[in-house]
Amino acid sequence: MEIFINVILPIPLEKHFTYRISEAEAALLKSGMRVAVPFGKTKLYTALVVDIHHTPPLVYEAKAIHDILDEQPIVTAIQIKHWQWIADYYMCTIGEVFRSAIPSALLLESETLILLNKEAVIDEDQLKDDEFMVYEALKHQNILRVNDIMEIVERKNILPVLGRLIKLEAILLKEEIHEQYKPKMVRYVRLGQRYGSETELEELLNSLTRAPKQSQVVLSLFHLQATKKKPIKLDDLEVESRTSRAVIRALINKEVLEEYFIQTDRVVFNGGKELEPPKELNEYQVAALNSIRQNFDNNKVTLLKGVTSSGKTEVYVQLIADCLRKGKQALYLVPEIAITTQLISRLQEYFGSAISVFHSKYNMQEKVEVWKNVLDNKSKAQLIIGARSALFLPFSDLGLIIIDEEHETSFKQYDPAPRYHARDAAIVLGGLFSSDVLLGSATPSIESYYNAQTSKYGYAQIDRRFGNVLMPEMELVDIKEQHRKKRMNGHFSERLLEEMTETLRQGEQIILFQNRRGYAPILECTTCGHSPQCPNCDVSLTYHMQRKQLRCHYCGHHIALPQICLACGSNTLDTKGFGTEQVEQELNTIFPSARVGRMDLDSTRGKHAYAKIIHAFENQEMDILVGTQMVTKGLDFRNVNLVGIMNADALLNFPDFRAHERTFQLLTQVAGRAGRTKKRGKVIIQTFNPYHQILKQVTTGDYEGMFQEQLYERELYKYPPVNRIIRMTFKHKEYNKLNDASQWFAKALRNSMDIKVLGPEFPPVSRIRNQYLKHVLIKIPQGLPLYKTKKSIKRIHNSFDAVSQFKGVRIIYNVDYM
Ligand code: ADP
Ligand code: ZN
Ligand code: ZN
């Protein structure tokens, strides 16, 4: 009887695809293993086996697979279930989920670009024949597609070979090259492999009697190992032994010592250090912890609302300890990679080597390593800290999920599919494992707080800062008034400058928040009014002073800064609006002796850039930190006593039903960076609208008031949490075609379903990368089953695809759009 497998291909297919396998292959294959398969005429993909059966496909002839790529499953049954949920719920294909869930090194395909790793030292004698052939081929050509390599070495089953070469670090994938950082490697030394036993050691020392310096190095190494109980840096050994690098080098050449490298930002736990017990909680923390545990006993997802600096993290620590004690894995999700830096060192004190970290800035080797450790339930993968993609790791026994700062919109993946919300997908994952799930925030999302209020979630709260530090004092400054009276110095009001001067005088630090990067969003000619626009997008180019460029923040297009107006030729160029760069520059004039740092997308490109800025600020090597949203998120600085919001209005006026909620969250969070230790912090909010309701609610810490008011509006206008929304985006480069297509679809939706459909409408930026965009918003009342609505939408989509004049119009679904 013929044997077949169903696989998931990493492409947007609705269905599984079927391949033929031999009996010998059937004996080896299991669900969750990868296979290399041909697809179409020339393509080769890495596919994932879902099941093995005897039913041939009806409409096509099943092809044979090329290779089996794993000896053991690398994906679990629960993962496949979870992916299927994500695909169904977020209206994408399981292939798209597969592609984004798995580290790219495990997903080689015909189009993958491969190149030689020029930095690796490869002993060519160690390569097997087929590996050597590929290696040679790559030496002669800079970069090759997997397909090309197959042709050159005249064989099809090449993926296992490439897999081994990746493992040896002999080759790289092209996507890695885009990363603009170089991980910092530190040189370590240890005793050579040969000197495992005491007798061998004795012989070694005897043989060195006539080389006192070398002997001194070996003895120092012993000494360091005994006292430090952790990897020994070559630098440290040089200092300790009071010899020179040449002596150490000689020993390395003799293979008495061995050198190796560790990337500094990877979690390398100091094994010698004692773990600390979790901190003893204060009464408010204890009350919250008890109520969380009670809710967990009733299998309830629980929301912890605790003001900034109330000690939520210490409560999480207790729950993690509970979980690890039971021998289960814990997942700690944070919205921003930047936060992991501080969090790791904090959690290491308690959990030491049980921690692994996973996020998108890890390179493919590191990702594969963490993947395998989690899969094998290794002791160093008991607590996983990560950004949203950590959700896709192959957990074996997940006991606890913590989603910190659950209100953060960066938990929602925007592009590409799957456009999932990591919080919600984590709750579903928790359901599959029956694990405890805790959401934490000082400013919960309206959705989560609503779920707590309606008892769908359990609830706990902490209202005081730890150590009874007062919440920072907030002050609104009317900059309209200040402008009128000509009291502004650049973008700084008198009040803000006063407070800054005082704070600096006290030797304390300041955070300034401006939610725009670059120098100014618009460069304008005061003679003719012309302002340079992006040729590909409907948006002005942002002026970046440092790079002397005008840049588009949507497509990356950039030009050198023009000296004269490109339209009329006059040199009367002026800027409108301001970004972080301009704030930084003004500071250099106003406070010439203050040390100013900046944290935004431009200043944090490299892998270690975040960490560097954060460390420098922590170590008080900077007095003032200017930043975008990035500075608002969960960072814990000890010496910050003043936070300035340069301009709150841009946030309030953002055209989105969540704008007010977000403004409240953002301002409360950034304010929460002030005065976290003993002294009461101060926050100055500059605005043209000091009487705006949201700003009042922020200054009085009135979350409840904000919630009630927003909920009322959401009910009125039928937005979440009372309705569900799906936003459809239509994309095409022809304006008219896009209009017709989106009209057609919206009309079909209205005709076939009794739901509210808004649009089609152009978004504020209606053309990006030469594609016009139009949105249709679908509002689905609670009570109406979501899957039915989605099914109807899919049906309309199928008819839409059959209309020839709409060919090429792309449709993107964003379920629970944020
Ligand atoms: P949150 O996560 O709510 O913003 P943190 O957990 O960061 O608050 O706590 C704020 C500060 O208070 C931290 O420096 C933390 O070490 C300290 N802290 C919190 N709880 C305790 C405790 N029970 N004992 C000692 N220090 C604590
Ligand atoms: Zn002009
Ligand atoms: Zn552009």
Q: Is 766 helix (H, G, I), strand (E, B) or coil?
A: coil
Q: Ligand 1 pocket, 318 CB below 6 A?
A: no
Specify the residue for token string 């200017």.
Answer: 626
The Cα–Cα gap between 153 and 168 comes to 20
Position 183 confidence tier, pLDDT thresholds 50, 70, 90: very low
Q: Ligand 1 pocket, 281 CB below 6 A?
A: yes
Q: Taking Cα atoms as reference points, which of 377, 406, 247 lies closest to residue 312?
A: 406
What is residue 152's predicted lDDT score, i.e. its pLDDT? 81
Of 305, 313, 405, 464, the one to substitute when testing ligand 1's pocket (max ligand atoms within 8 A of C-beta) is 313
**455: phi > 0 → left, psi -120 to 50 → alpha, else beta; which?**
left
For residue 184, the 8-state DSSP code is P
Which numbered atom of ligand 1 lies nearest the CA of 313?
A: 6
Q: Is 780 helix (H, G, I), strand (E, B) or coil?
A: strand
Of 314, 462, 679, the one to substitute when testing ligand 1's pocket (max ligand atoms within 8 A of C-beta) is 314
The Cα–Cα gap between 722 and 580 comes to 37
Cis peptide leading into residue 760 (ω within 30°): yes
Cross-sheet strand order for the sheet of 171-173: 143-145, 113-116, 171-173
Contact 400, 320 (CB under 8 A): yes
Of 636, 638, 665, 670, the one to substitute when testing ligand 1's pocket (max ligand atoms within 8 A of C-beta) is 636
Separation of CA 564 and ligand 2 centre (Å): 8
Position 535 confidence tier, pLDDT thresholds 50, 70, 90: very high
Beta strand pairing call for 34-39 and 67-68: antiparallel
Which numbered atom of ligand 1 lies nearest the CA of 442?
A: 3
Position 10 confidence tier, pLDDT thresholds 50, 70, 90: very high
Three-point CA angle 24, 30, 32, nearest 5° = 140
Q: Is 350 helix (H, G, I), strand (E, B) or coil?
A: helix
- Per 3-state DSSP, the chain is made up of helix, strand and coil in percentages (nearest 5) of 40, 20, 40
What lies within 8 Å, CB to CB, of 808 at 6+ separation is 732, 737
Position 181 confidence tier, pLDDT thresholds 50, 70, 90: very low
Residue 394 has pLDDT above 90, yes or no: yes
Tokens of 15: 């269905």
Distances (CA, A) of 609 to 179, 385, 516, 547, 602: 13, 19, 19, 18, 10
Q: Ligand 1 pocket, 631 CB below 6 A?
A: no
Position 268 confidence tier, pLDDT thresholds 50, 70, 90: low
Which numbered atom of ligand 1 lies nearest the CA of 672?
A: 4
Average pLDDT over residues 64-90: 95
Q: Which of 175-179, 200-204, 255-259, 517-521 has the lowest mean pLDDT?
A: 175-179
Q: Ligand 1 pocket, 285 CB below 6 A?
A: yes
Residue 119 has pLDDT above 80, yes or no: no
Name which residue sits closest to atom 26 of ligand 1, judged by CA.
279
Ligand that comes closest to the CA of residue 528: 2
Q: Chain-wide mean pLDDT for the chain?
A: 89
Q: Ligand 1 pocket, 509 CB below 6 A?
A: no
Instruction: Give the distance from CA 282 to its chain's centroid.
Output: 32
Alpha helices in 168-233 (DSSP H): 174-177, 198-207, 212-228
The DSSP secondary structure of 725-754, one letter per residue, reads EEEEEEEES-HHHHHHHHHHHHHHHHHH-S
Average pLDDT over residues 4-29: 94
Q: Ligand 1 pocket, 311 CB below 6 A?
A: yes
Tokens of 571: 């040199």
The Cα–Cα gap between 648 and 651 comes to 6
Residue 628 has pLDDT above 50, yes or no: yes
Separation of CA 309 and ligand 1 centre (Å): 6
Name which residue sits closest to atom 23 of ligand 1, judged by CA.
281
What is residue 212's predicted lDDT score, i.e. its pLDDT? 85
Q: Ligand 1 pocket, 279 CB below 6 A?
A: yes
Tokens of 88: 């169904």
Ligand that comes closest to the CA of residue 562: 2
Q: Ligand 1 pocket, 99 CB below 6 A?
A: no
Q: Ligand 1 pocket, 278 CB below 6 A?
A: no
Tokens of 498: 């006063």
The Cα–Cα gap between 427 and 409 comes to 16
Of 276, 282, 466, 637, the one to substitute when testing ligand 1's pocket (max ligand atoms within 8 A of C-beta) is 466
Q: Taking Cα atoms as reference points, which of 600, 674, 598, 613 lies closest to residue 639?
A: 674
What is residue 267's predicted lDDT score, i.e. its pLDDT? 54
Ligand that comes closest to the CA of residue 347: 1
Dihedral sign for Cα 197, 199, 201, 204, please: negative
pLDDT in tens, 716-766: 999 999 999 999 999 999 999 999 999 999 999 999 888 899 999 999 999
What is the percent of the chain where pLDDT is above 70? 96
0.85 exceeded by pTM: no
Q: How many helices (H) and strands (E) does the chain have?
A: 27, 35
For residue 595, the 8-state DSSP code is -
Q: Is 818 helix (H, G, I), strand (E, B) or coil?
A: coil
What lies within 8 Å, CB to CB, of 818 at 6+ separation is 409, 412, 421, 658
Average pLDDT over residues 330-346: 83
Alpha carbon distance, N-terminus to C-terminus of the chain:
51
Contact 517, 552 (CB under 8 A): no
Which numbered atom of ligand 1 lies nearest the CA of 307?
A: 3
pLDDT in tens, 462-502: 999 888 888 889 999 999 998 999 999 999 999 999 999 99
Q: Ligand 1 pocket, 295 CB below 6 A?
A: no
Beta strand pairing call for 143-145 and 185-191: unpaired
What is residue 799's predicted lDDT score, i.e. its pLDDT? 95
Q: Ligand 1 pocket, 314 CB below 6 A?
A: yes
Q: Is 494 helix (H, G, I), strand (E, B) or coil?
A: helix
Name which residue sits closest to atom 21 of ligand 1, judged by CA.
311
